[in-house]
Structure 1
Amino acid sequence: MIGVRRFAQWGLWFGGALVLLAAVLIGIDVLMRKFLALSIGGADELAGYSLAIGTTWGLGAALLDRAHIRIDSLYVLFPQKLRLALDFLALMLFTGFFALTLWHGFGVVAQSWTSESRSQSALETPTIIPQFLWLAGLVAFVAVALILLVQALRLGAAGDLNGMARLISTRSAEEEVEEEIRDLKDRQIREGKN
């Protein structure tokens, strides 16, 4: 799982960098419009591509960090085995939804490839480029989700319910506090070395 986490972290950094670049591009475009009466042209299109691509590449890391939002008002009241069964079902459905999205995404990319589609903007971007990067992010996410499903199933079959919970369950308040304390200590150590 360490290699999967590293790969997902790389995807998160890549996606975050794209979104950050889009924000900078839009900021520059706004300033140019305000003070120079000029526009970059296509900044909104590029930002849209960045957001779509960045989102798909960040999904895997969010899944491994258990950072996707869940409403757990009643969930915390259930016994551990029922919670784990619901977590596993949720992960299966979540993975299935994105696998279906991926399946249809292949059709969209194939159609763009065969018809040599271009955006209808001044940039006339070949749509295959952003669609391919978006699809690659979906492939990466579905692969990470499938690996997580198999690992969770393996832990559950071995009877390691606590390990399975650490892998796919919602983070408890205690886990979040421990993580914040660990991050604070790491920051203090880094600042002490500088």
Structure 2
Amino acid sequence: MEPLLSALRGITRVSAWFAGALILLAAILIGVDVILRAVFSESIGGADLLAGYALAIGTTWGLGIALVDRAHIRIDSLYGLFPRVLRLILDFVGLGLFLGFFAFAGWHGLGVLEQSLKSGSRSQSALQIPTAIPQFMWLAGLGVSLLVGIALLVAGAVLIARGRVGAATHILSTRSGQEEVAEEIAAMQSGTGGRG
């Protein structure tokens, strides 16, 4: 199972770098646009549109690494009090609902992409960007994240079938507060600093 998780970490690390680069470029573009407006009373036409595209695309490309790193936010005030079996069931249900929602969004996104391609629609900004380009990039990121989630769900089921409930919990649940504290302490003791 570890080779699969290593492969997923590698794939999602690349997608996270791509997502981060898009969001950084959007921030730079917005910063330049603000300076141009303040100093020269000029504007980069469509900077807000490009930033919106970058945020949407970056979000879908970043979902996968949050799944692999168990970094999604969950309110777990009662979760920690439940028996391990119930927590594992909730982890499966939660991941299944997560995948179901984004599969549903992707299905409708495919319809929107198909309509954009048929009609040749373009953005209403001065840039006149074909809307199919950001839509396709958004869907591609969503597809990668869905495949990662499915792989984690299958890996969890295989681990449970092999009787490795603890290992399944480790890849399916979010990190507990105690785990995060232990990781921070270990990082400080090794001299690498925290995740922050």
TM-score normalised by the shorter chain: which range applies?
Answer: over 0.9
**Which residue is equivalent to 1:125?**
129
- Cα distance in structure 1, aligned partners of 2:80 and 2:166: 15
**Residue type at the aligned position of 1:107:** G
The C-alpha deviation readout for 1:78-124, integer Å capped at 9, x for no partner, is: 00011001111111111111111111111111111111110111111
**TM-score w.r.t. structure 1 length?**
0.93
**Which residue is equivalent to 2:119?**
115
1:15 matched to 2:13? The reply is: no
Task: Pick one of 51, 68, 72 that aligns with 1:64.
Answer: 68
The C-alpha deviation readout for 1:10-59, integer Å capped at 9, x for no partner, is: 11110011001101100010001001111111100000000000000000
1:175 matched to 2:179? The reply is: yes
1:78 matched to 2:93? The reply is: no
**Residue type at the aligned position of 1:171:** R
Structure 1: gaps spanning 5 or more residues:
189-194
- Cα distance in structure 1, aligned partners of 2:174 and 2:137: 30
Question: Displacement of 1:179 after TM fit?
Answer: 1.9
- How much identity, in percent, do the aligned residues show? 57
Question: Displacement of 1:187 after TM fit?
Answer: 2.1
1:154 matched to 2:147? The reply is: no
- Cα distance in structure 2, aligned partners of 1:119 and 1:104: 19
**Which residue is equivalent to 1:135?**
139
Task: Pick one of 34, 39, 49 that aligns with 1:30.
Answer: 34
- Cα distance in structure 2, aligned partners of 1:100 and 1:40: 35
Aligned pair count reads 188
**Residue type at the aligned position of 2:160:** G
SS of residue paired to 1:40: coil
Question: Displacement of 1:186 after TM fit?
Answer: 5.2
Question: Displacement of 1:177 after TM fit?
Answer: 1.7
